[in-house]
Structure 1
C-alpha cells in the first residue's frame, strides 16, 4: 500500500496537502519509502532515529484499513520491542493466551503463546505515527508511478501522483514497501509473479455478548474451506475478526498460472455454516462495514529483492508465511533489515552493490524458515492431518510444546507433518 502526505507539519499531526500545494513538497531526501504499512513504517522509524532525512509516502491517509487477521504473534512482539513500541501497542491490543486449532471432526487443541489482536487500522496508524515521531516526514495521499533513474540506470528517486499532478522526489535510496498488489513492483521492473500466493476475506463483527465465550484465536480446518482455513480472533472493544484464507489460489491451471475457480464469499458462508461459534457470532453480532478481500504474497517469492538504488521489503518481497498467513511480524522485521543494510552501508562507506548484497543476504537467511512453512502448507490442502495432530497432541504434552514452538519460531513447522514427524507422533 502507498501513503503520502504533507510537508512542514509537526511530527504529531498530519495534514493533507491539496494538489495546488505540491510546490511545497520536498524535492529530495536521503531515503524515500513507498508504503506506510508495518514494513515501511518500521524501516522509516529505524532510519529516522539514526538521523537520516526520511520521507514516507502512501496512497491512503494515515490510519487506512488493511485486510488482515490482525494477530500479533511472538515475532511481532519482538519487532515491536526493537522499535520501542511494544508497551504502547499492547496497551491497546486485546491479549490472547492461546491459538485454538480445530480439526474437521471438531477436535480442538489450545496452543499457548504470547499473542494479541489489534485491528490493522490502529496498528498501522501507531506505526506510521511512530515513524513521524522519530523524524520521518509523511506524505499522503500520493501514488507511486515510476522510479527515477540516473544516466547509469540507478534508481535515484520516484515519480508520485498527488491529486492530478505528478511530483518528483530525488533520494539516495528508494525502498518499496507496497504490499501484495504488484502494480508498484511492476512499475519498478521487479515483479516476477503477478498472481498472489493466496487470498483472504475478512470482516469485523461487534458482539459484546460473545466476549469471554470466544477467548482464543480460533483457527478452523475443514473440507468447506480447503485448501485454507477459517478464523475468529477476539479484538478490542467487543469486536471479533472473522475470515477465511485460501492458499494456492492462483496456482497454475494448465501450466498458465490462471486463477482457479474461487468464490471467497461462498467459502466464508460455508465456514460459518460449519463452525457453530462462527454462526453464533454472525447471528448475535453486528457486521461492522463490509466483508473485504485481499491478496497475499508469501515465502519471499515473486519479486526481485533489489536493483541499484532500490530495495523491496515487506509483503512486496513476499514476507507473509504460507500455511499460517501470518505476515505482520515478518513485514516489520524485513523493513528493519532494509534499514540496517542502508545504515551499515553508510557507516562503512559501501557502494550500492554492497548494501544490496547485505540486504539480500539477510533475506536469504530467513528463506529456509519460509520454506518450512511452505512445506507445512500441505495441512491446508489435507485438513485430515489436523485431526491427526489434535488426536496425538491431546496425549502428548511434548507435541503441544512443539506446536507452541511453531508460534515462537523455535520449532520446525514442516517436521510436524513430515514422514519423520508422523513417526514421532506415535513414538512420543
Structure 2
C-alpha cells in the first residue's frame, strides 16, 4: 500500500468550502462523499498517516454496508481477516456462535484505506495539524479554524467545519459543543502473534464473566496469526449526586490480566505468542450523547457525536454512517441557509437515537453476566433465538427485547 501524502501545515490554503477535522472513519467518509460531488474539501488530522488507533478492529454488517457505499469494501476485504461468527461465551463456559458478515482489520490499515479514498475523490490532506479553535464571524457563526503544528499556527476559512475528532473531548471543548467531558466507556487492547492458534480462534469471540464486570473481554483474529485481544467497559462513568459524571472503580490493566488468567484461550494465546505492541487504552463516546450535534457553521460527527454502540462497543460502521449523513446534509443545503443544513443533520441523528437507546438498554448484560449465561443456554436449544441474536448483529432485531423482563420471559418459550 503506497503511503498517503501528508502535506505540511505550511501548504494549507487560506480557504476551502468544507474543512473536515479528523481523518478517521467518520471524517474520511464525509470528505470522500463531499469531494465526489465536486466540493472543495480540506481534510486534516493531528497525526501523520499511517497511524495507530486503539479499537477492537471488528467490522460488523453496518460497517460492511458503509464501506460498500464508499466503494472500498473489496479493498478492505483484500487486507482483512474474514469471519462468519461472533462467538458469545458466558461465565459458565457456554458458547453460541452468531452468524454474520464479519471481518477484522487493524485501524492503522482501515483508516489508511478510507483516507486514501477521500484523496482519490479530490480531498486535500494536511497532517499533522492540531485543531486549536474555531474562527467565528461577527454573528458568532463558525467560519473556519485555527490549526497548529509545534509553534506554527495557520488559519483556514471554510463555509462549513465538520468535527470528526473522536472520543477525546479537547476539540469539542475548543469548538464550544462539549456537553460532557467524561467518556461513556473505556477500552484497552494489544496485538499478539500466535500462528499456532489461527485455526482454533476463527470467530470474533466476546466473553462475559463476573471477574470482568461491568465489562467484557474479546479476542478477534486478524490476518497472519495476529489477534486483537482486549477488555472494555461500555458504561464506565456514572452520574453522581452532584450531577457530574464520575469514573467507576475500574482498572483495565487488572481486568486484562484477569481475562488472560481465567479464560483459557486468552491464557494460551499470551503464553505461546509474541506481543506486537504495548497495551493501549482509549475512551469511548456512546449513545449519541455528550456533545451538541451542531452550531452555526459546524457539524459534529463520528465518535465525537457519540456514534459508538453502548452494548457492543462497536463504532466503526456508525461513525462512517454519521459522516455520510453530515456530508449529505451539507450537499443538500449548499444553496440553503445554515438552519436547513443543521435541521436536516440533527433530524437524521435523532432518527438513529432509538436504536442507540436499545443498545444502551441491552448493556445490562455487561453488568449482569448471568444474563449472558441465560441467553446462551437458551440459544443453544433454540434456532429462533439464534436467529434473533443474528438479527441484533445485523440490526434487523431489537437488542433491548433480549434483556427486558418480557424478553427474559420469552427465552423460556423460544
Fold shared, TM-score > 0.5 on shorter chain: yes
> What does residue 340 of structure 2 align with?
354
Aligned to 1:28: 15
In the alignment, what sits opposite 1:83?
70
What displacement does 1:12 show? 7.6
Q: Distance in 2 between matches of 1:12 and 1:93?
A: 18
Provide the rounded CA distance (Å) in 2 between the counterparts of 1:283 and 1:92: 27
Q: 2:116 — aligned with what?
A: 129
1:378 to 352, 358, 364: 364
Aligned with 2:398: secondary structure? coil
Q: Which runs of 5+ in 2 are unaligned?
A: none
Distance across 2 between alignment mates of 1:200 and 1:329 = 18
String of CA shifts for 1:182-209, please: whole Å, max 9, x gaps: 0000001100000000100000001111
1:318 and 2:309 correspond: no
The answer for unaligned runs of 5 or more in structure 1 is: 1-10
Deviates more, 1:271-280 or 1:243-252: 243-252
**1 CA distance for matches of 2:150 and 2:123?**
22
Aligned to 1:258: 246
Contact 1:253–1:260 (CA under 8 A) maintained in structure 2: no
Q: Deviations over 1:352-393 (max 9, x none)?
A: 001000000000110000000000000000000000001100
Match of 1:41 among 28, 32, 42: 28
Equivalence for 2:321: 333
* Alignment TM-score, normalising by the size of structure 2: 0.98
Note closer, same or farther for the CA distance 1:397–1:310 as it changes in structure 2 (3 Å cut).
Answer: same
Residue 221 (structure 1) aligned to one of 208, 215, 235: 208
How many aligned residue pairs are there? 412
Query: Deviations for 1:90-148, whole angstroms, at most 9, x for unmatched residues?
Result: 11100001000000000000000000000000000110111001000000001000000
Q: CA separation in 1, counterparts of 2:330 and 2:95?
A: 46
Supply the distance in 2 between the matched residues of 1:408 and 1:15 (Cα, whole angstroms). 36
CA distance in 1, matches of 2:400, 2:272: 38
Number of the residue aligned with 1:414:
400
State the alpha-carbon separation in 1 of the partners of residues 86 and 247 from structure 2. Answer: 31
Aligned to 2:297: 309
- Aligned alpha-carbon RMSD (Å): 1.1
The answer as to whether partners of 1:252 and 1:259 remain within 8 angstroms in 2 is no
How far is the alpha carbon of 1:254 from its aligned partner?
4.4
Stretch of structure 1 that moved more, 246-255 or 125-134: 246-255
Contact in 1 for aligned 2:187/2:282 (Cα 8 Å): yes
The alignment partner of 1:258 has SS state of: strand
1:88 & 1:38 partners in 2: Cα distance?
15
CA–CA distance in 2 between the matches of 1:321 and 1:124?
Answer: 19
Structure 1 position 317, deviation (Å): 0.1
Contact 1:12 1:132 in 2 (8 A): no
Could you tell me whether the CA contact under 8 Å between 1:31 and 1:52 is conserved in 2?
yes
Distance in structure 2 (CA, Å) of the matches to 1:114 and 1:187: 39
Residue 168 in structure 1 maps to residue 155 in structure 2: yes
Could you tell me which residue of structure 1 aligns to residue 282 of structure 2? Answer: 294
Quote the Cα distance in structure 2 between the aligned partners of 1:379 and 1:91. 34
Q: What CA distance in whole angstroms lies between the structure 2 residues aligned with 1:190 and 1:51?
A: 29
Assess if the C-alpha contact under 8 Å between 1:142 and 1:163 holds in 2.
no
- Deviation string 1:253-296 (CA, Å, 9 cap, x unpaired) is 44432222221100100111111000000001111110000000
> For the residues of structure 2 that align with 1:182 and 1:91, how far apart are their CA atoms?
34
Query: Conserved in 1, the CA contact under 8 Å of 2:6 and 2:48?
Result: no
Q: Are residues 1:405 and 2:391 paired?
A: yes
141, 145, 152: which one aligns with 1:158: 145
Tell me which residue corresponds to 2:257.
Answer: 269
Answer yes or no: is the 8 Å Cα contact 2:213–2:367 preserved in 1.
Answer: yes
Q: Is the 8 A contact 2:4 2:49 kept in 1?
A: no
| TM-score (normalizing by structure 1) | 0.95
